Structure 1
Amino acid sequence: MRREIRKMKTDLMNYGRLDVRVMLFNPERIVNILWNKGIVVENVKRRDIITITMTVKYNDYDEVCKVVKELKGQVEVINRSPFVVWAMKIKNRFSYVIGAVVFICIIYFLSGFVWGVKVEDNKFLSPYEIRKCIYSLGIKPGIRKNKVNVTTLEKDIERANDNVMWVKARIEGSVLKVTVKEKVNPPKLTGNENTDGTIHPIVAKMDGEIVKIYCSAGSAAVQRGDFVKKGDVLIEGVQGKDEYQVEVQPEGTAIAKTFEEKSAEIQVSGNELKRTGEVYKDIYVEIMGRKIYIKKCDKTFKDYDKIENKRKLITEVDYYPKKEVEISESKDNLINKKVDELEKSVQENIERSDKIVDKIINQKDIGSGKIRLNVVFVIERNIAVKE
């Protein structure tokens, strides 16, 4: 293989030409000697009494230098053909060229695989849940692209999860992107659960501002933009106008903006207590009110968190030492983190159909580098309930 590569280089270099200047006494001698050695010279020109110029093949240049040296002369390259310049660079950097070719081949080969799965979902469905479903179908990072049928994958995800309404899967570069739209059940109509025959109006179960009201039976007592209090009538049990009114069992929904307030204190400057990352344990068995320690922490801490984990026989107590550290994070970042934390706690306590549409944030400085944060969450929800 090496011999073939060397031969290929030699054949390529035969196409190259060098213009050389030779300086020696009786320079005509060198032309005869070169011709006798089978070396072809072209464009021979005499410049002065001891100098001639001529054109030789690149591969014959070393032999020309050898002959000139034997005649005690000097030789100098005055011009190279562009092909020779390019060939010399390739020759000197052949390993770089091979490395570049190998690198491109590796990149091309690796581009035929899926190396990541990105899930874009709505509000309620967990990306982890969708990603776990995709992995269970055999689609994992490292799989070849030609083995991923996105149409089949979309149908399989819809069949595997009842909460999924629509799926779009596409391969972009080396990433499989899956967009999921989940099902959101419409608000339940209030009023159709009554069975005793008595007409009961539909009222508000909490304070709020009416956004929209829908009546499938009965008449709306409020309209969009009205503020209502808990217990106010939203849908009356009558239908029709004037003397044509009849009593009916009211049914419908009333979507309103409601308000839920959360507050917290935040240390935004100075020092704060943070866990050091160390954990110490007490492990003991309690018999007749007496603790028998299997392992006991012999250190004392000024500030620490304590978490107790009781099992059937053995009790474990974890101690997390804390120390004061200077707050380096900006005030805005600390506030945003706390607001996100409060929003998450609100989201966990509302129904799936409810939606947080706005946040009203107020802060008050309470001294010692602390602020009191009050956040009012504006939540759209169905406030209709049977009286």
Structure 2
Amino acid sequence: MAVRLWNYLMGYVIIKIEGLSLEKFINLMVSKGIYIWDIDRINYTTLIAKVSIKGFKKLPSVVARVKCRVTILKKAGYPFFIYRLKKRKMLSVGVFVAFFIVYLLSSFIWTIEITGLERLNQKEVLYHLERLGLKEGTWKRGIKIDDIESNMIINVDDISWVGIEIKGTKAMVDIVEIVEPPEVLDKSIPCDIVAKKDGIIENIYALEGRELVDKGDTVKKGQVLITGIISGNDRVLRYVHSIGEVKARTWYEGKAQVSLNQRQTVRTGEVVERKYIKLGSKTLFLKNPDIPFKKYQKEVKIDSDLDLKEFFKLQVVTEYYHEILDKERRLSMEEAKKEAWELALKNARALIPQGLEIVDKNASYSMINEEKLEAVVTVEVIEDIGETRVIDTRKEEMDIDQPDG
């Protein structure tokens, strides 16, 4: 018992010795004063034993003389226990300090991202934000978002709305600028309202001028809808600046082609995960296995992102490598129509002016060849198709002066 306690206090190594001259190896160890115990012979060429730390340091001279291979299976005893404890303690302290620094630095704003600018200058906006207490390096808890938002609207003439959101160390500032009113004709200038595109009249009313079309009428681009020429029974013309609104049903068309034979990429379900810390240009892998797949899809997830710009940038990143296979597949006609419909509808929607609602849609299909199906999707919307056009009063007066027949 005392010997085992002594061995534990002094420390020892459990080793595996492999070779054809095991007895010679043991005898040579003993002759050199190397203390060895708990010898366990596994087979003719392998044995396992324990040796003191001091004795293990003398083994290279024995190995050099006898062709045997020595492998460390385990380091045991008090010295190794203390070493691991110190190492873990320092690691724990280091991790704690690192996380404390990250937490401390993440309490400040290090990036300001501004969106929505068209006419305003970004430097001017940053200047006003800084004056109100929002700049890079600002402590997050000291930022009064509501006050900054309201004061930005008051202090900057061209801003109608400001929204500020704090995400991590980034301040996201969304700005809506005041919309300049469209240029309009002087109301003293006579004008008609004409159709800017083909359509079917859904609703028309004139505040000034005379309506020339009714609901349900089909009109062509350029056709006069509300005229600013008012004539009396005495054939005397009066010109006004037409004011009104003309809503009409209009159409937008989108096309798309789909191949019936498709090569599809599918995931097998096998996935390998890599995890690392990226500090500036340095990368420290926490998990870095080999990727055994011939083909794969890479998916990157940033678990933590701390951007301190001129100081450093720290990210904790996980990469997922999904094994994929390519498969040939022929779509059924219903599947091809569904896919072509969705693509063509997407293309049609891209043509529609913002803010308009689709009231109807239909599609037609045709085979381009044995392998391709084409879909044509037509969507119907209701929109204002009126635009003003100046009346040439001299021409109108000349026309009315011409005798009939």
Same fold (TM over 0.5): no
Place the TM-score, normalised by the shorter chain, in its bin: 0.3 to 0.5
Task: Provide the TM-score with structure 2 as the length reference.
Answer: 0.38
